[in-house]
Amino acid sequence: MIAWKTAATLLLAAGLGMALSGRPRAEDVTLTVWSHEADEDAKVAYRELAAKNLEAAHPGVHVKITWYEKNPLLAALKTSLPAGQGPDVLYVEPDWTEYVDAGYLAPLDDLINWNNIQPWARAVWTHNGKTYGVAQEAYTNELYYNKDLLKKLGVEVPASAQFTQAQFLDVVKKAKAAGIVPIAQGVGDRPFPGAYIIGEALLRKLGKDDYSKLWTGKLSFSDPRVVAVFTWVKELVDAGAYPKNFMTLKLGESHYYFYTKPGALMLPMGSWYTGRAFVPVDKGGQPADFPLGIMQFPAMDGGACNLCKTSNVGASFAINAASKHKELAAAFIDAMSTPEMGKRWIETIYLQTGIKADVKSFSGPHAAYFTELMDRQKGEDYFIGGPLDMIQGQCKDSFAQVVNSAFPGGLLPVDQAIKMMNTACFKG
């Protein structure tokens, strides 16, 4: 009898074990992540550390990160998301609103620990009362320059770090006359770099309210203030501000162009400049002794807000609405968003963040740079978001073709550029 009961118990245990083994367990889950910025080692290390932290907190769980450059990532998402496929977690940027409109992203309001995220960073990703992305990267538009080259031209940056319109045009002319490319910029693979100068000029000339109205169709591009800015930028273009290969020079190449070959005086760029510049020289980074400086974008004559500056959210992460592992996906995003990780972001990537982090002083090989970057924020009046965050459809296409490319590329006169933008964007 005892032997029979023992056998029955063993059979029952075996059957139960088989039943349980057939059930999906958390330990069996592979969480898939698709991320941009494959060529930025510090960001790769940051996200892979978050993956290891999540795996340590959930034994057996595996995080698989697939790394892309931006255009291949967009192509992969364009194919997979409409089919209800793709990764559990995906890299996104705030102007990718079509993913929200199409229902490809899961609302995150009840999934994420928002105590660790700056309210303004969450607001960037809030649409119709729901939040769809978590900001990791924040940045400001900055005007980088080579201190030694500027000194060679016999020019000093004002105490305010801000030239006037006339002074800036003069600097461009002096650089060109000395055989120095004034502004390293190219639009070969992005719809926005060519608009840095004109965008920041419009913001300062118009002030925040009218600048917003311009990009939301409520202010005409024929406004005399807008025409005045376009006219000034045309003077810069005619003075040879941009390189001859402006139309084909890619974003990453413009960094190298600026600080290595052939070298340029200035580079307008988001403060995520560091992601490419602060890597080893043999991987395309700037030389250790490169005399990097940061000036403010020029003050506009009669500008409504010459202390205004664009601040924005960049690299963010969202959860695929089709994911079967939304809670685990949220746990991974939370693992990237702790105060400790926010501090690590600042100290290793030297870039602002949407994560709450308490960093009172800066250390490391680029501490002086980050100190100067923070100095350039003193007294600034931020406008949150760039033109691409506010425009859609035909206006967005025309921005990329006209303001970003053809106009700064010297292919359009002022009146034609104004007419094209008005037709595409102004709603009357």
pLDDT in tens, the chain (428 residues): 334 333 333 333 444 343 334 444 555 899 999 999 998 999 999 999 999 999 999 999 999 999 999 999 999 999 999 999 999 999 999 999 999 999 999 999 999 999 999 999 999 999 999 999 999 999 999 999 999 999 999 999 999 999 999 999 999 999 999 999 999 999 999 999 999 999 999 999 999 999 999 999 999 999 999 999 999 999 999 999 999 999 999 999 999 999 999 999 999 999 999 999 999 999 999 999 999 999 999 999 999 999 999 999 999 999 999 999 999 999 999 999 999 999 999 999 999 999 999 887 888 899 999 999 999 999 999 999 999 999 999 999 999 999 999 999 999 999 999 999 999 999 98
337 C-beta neighbours (distance < 10 Å), count? 26
Q: In b/e form, how buried is each residue of 188-210, taking b as 16+ CB within 10 angstroms?
A: bebbbbbbbbbbbbbbbbbbeeb
- pLDDT given for residue 21 in this prediction: 40
Domains annotated on the chain, with CATH: 19-137+314-349 (3.40.190.10), 139-312+371-425 (3.40.190.10)
Q: Specify the amino acid at residue 65.
A: I
Listing DSSP states for 399-411 in one string gives: IIIIIIIITTTT-
Cα–Cα distance between 28 and 324 in angstroms, integer?
A: 13
CA–CA gap between residue 419 and residue 322 (Å, rounded): 43
What is the per-residue pLDDT for 15? Answer: 44
First-residue to last-residue Cα distance in the chain: 93
- Residue in this structure with the two tokens 């700037």, named with its chain if needed: 286
Q: What is the dihedral of CA 235, 238, 240, 241, to 10 degrees?
A: 30
Q: φ and ψ at 383, to 5 degrees?
A: -105, 120
* CA nearest neighbour of 221 among 13, 7, 420, 21: 420
Per-residue confidence (pLDDT) for residue 371, from 0 to 100 = 92
Give the Cα-Cα-Cα angle 194, 272, 392 (nearest 5 degrees).
50
pLDDT at 91: 98
Nearest C-alpha neighbor of 317 from the set 46, 75, 62 = 46
Residue 47: the pLDDT is 98
DSSP tag of 296:
P
User: In angstroms, rounded to a whole number, what is the distance separating the alpha carbons of residues 208 and 223?
Assistant: 15
Phi, psi of 117 (to 5 degrees): -115, 135
Q: Is 361 exposed, middle or buried (0-12, 13-18, 19+ CB in 10 A)?
A: exposed
Tokens of 426: 């102004």
> Which pLDDT does position 363 carry in this prediction?
82
Q: Are 106 and 326 in contact (CB under 8 A)?
A: yes
Q: What is the CB neighbour count within 10 angstroms for residue 285?
A: 19
pLDDT of residue 13: 41
User: For residue 303, what pLDDT is reported?
Assistant: 98
What is the pLDDT at residue 27?
A: 57
Q: What is the DSSP letter of 362?
A: -
Q: Are 64 and 32 in contact (CB under 8 A)?
A: yes
d(CA 144, CA 183): 10
